[in-house]
Chains A and B, each alone.
Chain A
Amino acid sequence: MSLHTLSVAELVTGLAAKKFSAVELTEHFLARIGLMNEALNAYITVTPERALADARRADAARSAGQAVLLTGLPLAHKDIFCTDGVRTTCGSKMLGEFVAPYDATIVERLQAAGTVTLGKTNMDEFAMGSSNETSYFGPVRNPWDLAKVPGGSSGGSAAAVAARLAPVATGTDTGGSIRQPAALVGISGIKPTYGRVSRYGMIAFASSLDQAGVMAASAADCAYLLQAMAGFDPRDSTSVNAPVPNYVAELTTPLQGLRIGVVREFFGPGLETATGALVQAAIEQYRALGATIVDVSCPNLPLSVPTYYVVAPAECSSNLSRFDGVRFGYRCQEPRDLMDLYKRSRGEGFGDEVKRRIMTGTYVLSAGYYDAYYLQAQKVRNLISAEFKHAFTQADLLIGPTSPTTAFDIGSKVDDPITMYLNDIYTIGANLAGLPAMSIPCGFSQNLPVGLQLLGPHFSESRILSAAHGYQSVTDFHQRVPAAYV
Chain B
Amino acid sequence: MTDTATPMNAAATGDWEVVIGLEIHAQLATRSKIFSGSATEYGASPNSQANLVDLGYPGVLPVLNAEAVRMAVKFGLATGATIASTSVFARKNYFYPDLPKGYQISQYERPIVERGSLEILLEDGTHKVVGITRAHLEEDAGKSMHEGLLNSSGIDLNRAGTPLLEIVSEPDMRSAKEAVSYLKKMHTLVRYLEICDGNMQEGSFRCDANVSVRRRGAEKFGTRCEIKNVNSFRYVEKAINYEVLRQIDVLEGGGTIRQETRLYDSAKDETRPMRSKEEANDYRYFPDPDLLPVVIAADFIDSVRATLPELPDQKAARFAAQYGLQIYDAGVLTASRELANYYEAVVQKLAGDALGAKLAANWVMGDFSGFLNRDGLELAAAKVSAESLAGLLIRIIDQTISGKIAKDVFEQMWADGSDADVVIEAKGLRQITDTTEIEQAIDNVMAANSNQLNDYRSGKDKLFGFFVGQVMKATGGKANPAQLNELLKKKLSA
**C-alpha spacing A102/B284, complex, angstroms:** 31
Which interface residue of B61, B63, B100, B292 has the most chain A CB atoms within 10 A?
Answer: B61
User: Once the chains bind, are A88 and B284 in contact (CB under 8 Å)?
Assistant: no
**C-alpha spacing A317/B283, complex, angstroms:** 12
In-complex Cβ contact of A82 among B55, B58, B64, B290 (8 A): B58
User: Once the chains bind, are B61 and A235 in contact (CB under 8 Å)?
Assistant: yes
Chain B neighbourhood of A362, CB < 8 A: 284
Q: Mark A174-209, 1 if CB is under 8 A from B, else 0.
A: 000000000000000000000000011111101110
The reply to whether the CB of A20 lies closer than 8 angstroms to some CB of chain B is no
**C-alpha spacing A320/B91, complex, angstroms:** 13
The reply to whether the CB of A321 lies closer than 8 angstroms to some CB of chain B is yes
The secondary structure that dominates the A interface is loop
**C-alpha spacing A204/B61, complex, angstroms:** 9
Q: Mark B54-86, 1 if CB is under 8 A from A, else 0.
A: 011111111110000000000000000000000
User: Once the chains bind, are A235 and B63 in contact (CB under 8 Å)?
Assistant: yes
CB proximity of A317 to chain B, nearest CB, Å: 8
Q: Number of B interface residues at 8 Å Cβ cutoff, please give it.
A: 28
Q: Mark A305-335, 1 if CB is under 8 A from B, else 0.
A: 0000000001101101111101111000000
User: Once the chains bind, are A200 and B59 in contact (CB under 8 Å)?
Assistant: yes
CB proximity of B95 to chain A, nearest CB, Å: 6
CB proximity of B61 to chain A, nearest CB, Å: 5
CB proximity of B256 to chain A, nearest CB, Å: 23
**C-alpha spacing A314/B61, complex, angstroms:** 18
Residue in B closest to A366 when the chains form the complex, CB atoms: B282
The reply to whether the CB of A367 lies closer than 8 angstroms to some CB of chain B is yes
**C-alpha spacing A317/B285, complex, angstroms:** 12
B residues 78-108 near A (Cβ < 8 Å) are: 91, 93, 95, 97, 100-103
User: Once the chains bind, are B291 and A203 in contact (CB under 8 Å)?
Assistant: no
CB proximity of B222 to chain A, nearest CB, Å: 24
Residue in A closest to B62 when the chains form the complex, CB atoms: A237
CB proximity of B150 to chain A, nearest CB, Å: 16
Chain A neighbourhood of B295, CB < 8 A: none
**Contacts A318-B284, A321-B102 given: A100-B91 contact, CB under 8 Å?**
no
The reply to whether the CB of A370 lies closer than 8 angstroms to some CB of chain B is yes
Chain B neighbourhood of A102, CB < 8 A: 52, 57
Residue in A closest to B58 when the chains form the complex, CB atoms: A203
User: Once the chains bind, are B64 and A365 in contact (CB under 8 Å)?
Assistant: no
**Contacts A101-B52, A237-B292, A238-B292 given: A322-B286 contact, CB under 8 Å?**
no
CB proximity of B293 to chain A, nearest CB, Å: 11
B residues 282-310 near A (Cβ < 8 Å) are: 282, 284-286, 289-292
**C-alpha spacing A372/B266, complex, angstroms:** 45
The reply to whether the CB of B396 lies closer than 8 angstroms to some CB of chain A is no
Residue in A closest to B155 when the chains form the complex, CB atoms: A326
A residues 328-367 near B (Cβ < 8 Å) are: 328-329, 338, 342, 362, 365-367
The reply to whether the CB of A247 lies closer than 8 angstroms to some CB of chain B is no
**C-alpha spacing A382/B466, complex, angstroms:** 93
Chain B neighbourhood of A366, CB < 8 A: 282, 284
CB proximity of A146 to chain B, nearest CB, Å: 32
Q: Mark B384-404, 1 if CB is under 8 A from A, else 0.
A: 000000000000000000000
A residues 196-246 near B (Cβ < 8 Å) are: 199-204, 206-208, 234-238
**Contacts A321-B95, A321-B101, A322-B102 given: A199-B61 contact, CB under 8 Å?**
yes
Residue in A closest to B103 when the chains form the complex, CB atoms: A318
**C-alpha spacing A420/B289, complex, angstroms:** 26
The reply to whether the CB of A95 lies closer than 8 angstroms to some CB of chain B is yes
User: Once the chains bind, are B57 and A367 in contact (CB under 8 Å)?
Assistant: no
User: Once the chains bind, are B286 and A314 in contact (CB under 8 Å)?
Assistant: yes
**C-alpha spacing A323/B102, complex, angstroms:** 8
In-complex Cβ contact of A324 among B59, B102, B286, B291 (8 A): B102
Residue in A closest to B98 when the chains form the complex, CB atoms: A326
The reply to whether the CB of A90 lies closer than 8 angstroms to some CB of chain B is yes
Chain B neighbourhood of A471, CB < 8 A: none
**Contacts A237-B292, A322-B101, A365-B286 given: A204-B59 contact, CB under 8 Å?**
yes
User: Once the chains bind, are A104 and B59 in contact (CB under 8 Å)?
Assistant: yes
CB proximity of B485 to chain A, nearest CB, Å: 77
CB proximity of B371 to chain A, nearest CB, Å: 49
User: Once the chains bind, are B286 and A318 in contact (CB under 8 Å)?
Assistant: yes
User: Once the chains bind, are A95 and B58 in contact (CB under 8 Å)?
Assistant: yes
**C-alpha spacing A323/B57, complex, angstroms:** 9
CB proximity of A95 to chain B, nearest CB, Å: 7
In-complex Cβ contact of A315 among B100, B282, B289, B292 (8 A): B289
What are 6 A-B residue pairs whose CB atoms fall within 8 Å in the complex?
Answer: A88-B59, A201-B59, A204-B59, A207-B290, A320-B102, A321-B101
Query: With contacts A82-B58, A206-B289, A318-B284 known, what are 11 further pairs, Cβ within 8 A?
Result: A81-B59, A88-B59, A101-B52, A201-B60, A234-B63, A237-B292, A238-B290, A238-B291, A322-B100, A366-B282, A367-B282
- Contact surface of B with A, Cβ cutoff 8 Å: 52, 55-64, 91, 93, 95, 97, 100-103, 155, 282, 284-286, 289-292
Closest 9 pairs between A and B when the two form their complex, measured CB to CB: A321-B102, A208-B289, A365-B284, A207-B289, A201-B59, A322-B56, A203-B58, A82-B59, A322-B101
